[in-house]
């Protein structure tokens, strides 16, 4: 007697096999996108549709394999096929161009470069051992690897990728956050200060700071000067695991997911200890949704497990962190790019 094992959802084997094969080739898709980005194919199509031969001549690549790459990319929605071996640029393809608003080209490249790609070979052991095996893969943790002079180019690519990813979120977050009654804002671990500087541009009454490691503060100062906001801005060298400056509002954008629970509570507790009366904190992160539904945040969580000691979390997990540090989540709303803002008030 045959039947469906207990706990198994009935389905069609052929359909399931096709779906698993589609999932299995995700790495192939990623490397296809990498080739498109490295060969600047999207940039070669920026002025209009072109044949693969024309793109190959501009790039110095082989015409036939360039055609095969562009054909594959068109099946992914990156290019449109115009007939007669001509391809055009779609919205997805636009995001693989160099230095355009919203570009994800650097992210495509860095996720397929040595540090991340090599680390995935050790991923099953990360699950088995309960944490990243990046040191076994690279001989150092991710940021230690990037600090090595021979990896400077990959480190710069990573920095650009994180800046591009942050840019997807910052504009929406600046538009959404209420700064009424706020005078001082501290961007905790805020890199070049894009978030807090955006708030300063939107509200001329605000004064802002970036708290960063000593080597990073100069970049924030230069950015404030470029935006002509230096009179209301300062970049403070420090360590958010030790203390943070007092403020009415703390910004923690893509910070909490980098750390385990203990370190997260320390960061949040330091903010709670220094916050002004009636002050708030704003945590911007991906939030894992209902289990079993399609959820990009769970894929990001696997990447965090792969290369960091951090993780993505669901709302219950975030609430537990907040409560342990003396905060309560008062409001949650989307800010773009798959990210949510969680507004915290002090307990």
Domain residue extents for the chain: 27-98, 167-346
Q: What tokens were used for 44?
A: 């070669």
pLDDT class of 319 with cuts at 50, 70, 90 = very high
- pLDDT reading at 303 higher than 60: yes
Residue-averaged pLDDT of the chain: 95
Architecture per CATH, domain 27-98, reads as: Orthogonal Bundle (1.10)
Looking at the chain, how many residues does it have?
347
Closest CA to 308 of 188, 134, 120: 134
Hey, which residues does 332 pair with through a beta bridge? 342
Task: Please report, rounded to a whole number, the percentage of residues in the chain having pLDDT higher than 70.
Answer: 97
CB-based contacts of 213, cutoff 8 Å, min separation 6: 237, 238, 239
Q: Which residue intervals of the chain are DSSP H helices?
A: 13-24, 26-38, 41-44, 52-59, 63-75, 91-94, 105-111, 114-120, 123-129, 134-138, 142-147, 152-176, 194-202, 217-226, 261-274, 296-307, 315-324
Segment 108-133, tens digit of pLDDT: 999 999 999 999 999 999 999 999 99
Mean of pLDDT values over 26-51: 97
Domain 167-346, CATH class in plain words: alpha beta
Mean of pLDDT values over 199-212: 96
How far is 343 from 280, CA to CA, in rounded Å? 7
Phi, psi angle pair for 279, to nearest 5°: -80, 170
How far is 80 from 116, CA to CA, in rounded Å? 30
Segment 275-291, tens digit of pLDDT: 999 999 999 999 999 99
- pLDDT reading at 46 higher than 70: yes
- pLDDT reading at 264 higher than 70: yes
- Give the angle subtended at the CA of 238 by the CAs of 107 and 251, to the nearest 5°: 55
Phi, psi angle pair for 73, to nearest 5°: -65, -30
pLDDT of residue 1: 44
- pLDDT reading at 160 higher than 80: yes
Angle of helix 63-75 relative to helix 52-59, nearest 10 degrees, comes to 120
pLDDT of residue 215: 84
pTM value is 0.90
């Amino acid at each position: 007697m045959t039947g469906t094992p207990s706990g198994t959802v009935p389905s069609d084997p052929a359909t399931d096999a096709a779906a698993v094969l589609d999932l299995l080739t995700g790495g192939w898709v990623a490397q296809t996108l990498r080739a498109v980005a490295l060969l600047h194919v999207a940039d070669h199509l920026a002025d209009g549709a072109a044949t693969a031969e024309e793109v190959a001549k501009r790039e110095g690549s082989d015409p036939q394999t360039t055609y095969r790459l562009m054909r594959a990319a068109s099946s992914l929605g990156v290019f449109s096929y115009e007939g007669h071996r001509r391809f055009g640029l779609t919205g997805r393809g636009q995001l693989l161009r160099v230095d355009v608003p919203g570009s994800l080209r650097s992210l495509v490249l860095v996720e397929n470069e040595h540090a991340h790609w090599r680390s995935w070979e050790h991923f099953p052991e990360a699950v088995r051992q309960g944490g990243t095996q990046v040191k076994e893969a690279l001989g150092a943790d991710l940021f230690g690897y990037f600090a090595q002079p021979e990896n400077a180019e990959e480190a710069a690519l990573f920095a650009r990728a994180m800046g591009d990813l942050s840019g997807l979120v910052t504009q929406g977050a600046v538009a959404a956050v209420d700064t009424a009654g706020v005078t001082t804002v501290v961007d905790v671990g805020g890199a070049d200060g894009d978030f807090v500087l955006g708030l300063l541009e939107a509200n001329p009454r605000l004064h802002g700071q970036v708290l960063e490691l000593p080597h990073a503060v100069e970049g924030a100062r230069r950015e404030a000067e470029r935006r002509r906001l230096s009179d209301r801005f300062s970049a403070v060298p420090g360590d958010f695991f030790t203390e943070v400056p007092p403020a009415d509002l703390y910004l923690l954008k893509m910070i909490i997911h980098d750390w385990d629970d203990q370190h997260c509570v320390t960061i949040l507790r330091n903010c709670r200890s220094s916050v002004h009366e009636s002050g708030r904190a704003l945590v911007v992160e991906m939030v894992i949704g209902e289990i079993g539904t399609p959820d990009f945040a769970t894929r990001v969580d696997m990447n965090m497990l792969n290369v960091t000691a951090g993780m993505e979390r669901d709302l219950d997990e975030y609430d537990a962190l907040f409560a342990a540090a003396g905060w309560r989540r008062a409001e949650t709303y989307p800010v773009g790019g798959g990210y949510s803002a969680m507004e915290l008030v002090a307990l």
